[in-house]
Amino acid sequence: MFSKRCAFLFALYILAVSNQIRKQYMSGKLKDKISVVTGAGSGIGKSIATRFANEGSMVYLFEINQETGLNVEEAINKEGGKSRFIRCNVADEKSVKEAFNSLLKENSRVDILVNNAGVSHIGNIENTNSSDMDRLYQINVKSIYLVTREIIGTMAAGQEGIILNMASIASKIGLKDRFAYSMSKGAVLSMTMSIAHDYIESNIRCNCICPARVHTPFVDDFLKKNYPGKEKEMFESLSRYQPIGRMGTPDEIANLALFLCSDESSFITGVAYDIDGGVMNLR
């Protein structure tokens, strides 16, 4: 009886200490900000949404997958953060409009938009069919146009806003067998520069992040689908591609996203940030 009570009190003590430690690392860098993160149900988007909420932002999770979106919402809110899942297919104009209508009923502005949702595709020009091209364009490219267009006018009217797009090293260098994916991520880079230029006088900063391989469900699904039975071997080979010898983690990308979406980066716009374990400069 006594030892059970001791164990219970000890568990409470550990919980209190870990919450204290967690709070020390939060510095309220996004206090009172309203953010939208697309594709927030998994991988990089989930880490960014969680990090932003930990830093004091209200985060709207625009995600097509209801189950994962709700899970992230629950996890953030349980830890004392503020988030709300809004089901949204970012490639569909009507769905994007409905998502923003729902958000704007609660909050009249969005301070930060992270266009993160994206899908992968393997193939060279000959084995990429026309429906693959259309799908990659719709989800990775047109979505940025649809989502950003819906809110940038409100940001411009308020003379304040930050937009961060998820590009890739494929935006800048030739990756083997990534024809459609490279097309889409090249466009993410160009759209970033175009938006940054057009809205600089509206005090909107727009940047993009170019990660090399990051270990997320995106990578695991890709290996399962394209290299069945050889997942482990391919995982190691993909890890070695980065001169640093491993893949990145979603939290490492979230750290950079936080910097680029906070006032610490107030002089940075129109930049494509490599976060790549040395791929661009050391390979």
Write out the catalytic residue numbers: 181
Does position 88 interact with ligand NAD (CB under 6 A)? The reply is: yes
User: CB burial class (10 A; 0-12, 13-18, 19+) of residue 90?
Assistant: buried
55 touches 35 (CB < 8 A): no
Interface pick for ligand NAD out of 217, 235, 244, 271 (rule CB under 6 A): 217
Total interface residues for ligand NAD by CB under 6 A:
29
Does position 139 interact with ligand NAD (CB under 6 A)? The reply is: yes
Interface pick for ligand NAD out of 146, 211, 254, 256 (rule CB under 6 A): 211
Strand-pairing partners, residue 59, are: 35, 83
Does position 64 interact with ligand NAD (CB under 6 A)? The reply is: yes
Give the residue among 13, 71, 26 at the shortest CA–CA distance from 53: 26
Does position 168 interact with ligand NAD (CB under 6 A)? The reply is: yes
**Degrees (nearest 5) of the Cα angle 214, 51, 253?**
25
Collapse the DSSP code of 40 into the 3-class scheme (helix H, G, I; strand E, B; otherwise coil) and give the result: coil
- CA dist 85 and 69 (Å) reads 6
Does position 53 interact with ligand NAD (CB under 6 A)? The reply is: no
Of 128 and 168, which has the nearer Cβ to ligand NAD? 168
Does position 219 interact with ligand NAD (CB under 6 A)? The reply is: yes
Interface contacts to ligand NAD, rule CB under 6 A: 38-39, 41-45, 63-65, 68, 88-91, 116-119, 139, 166, 168, 211, 213-214, 216-219
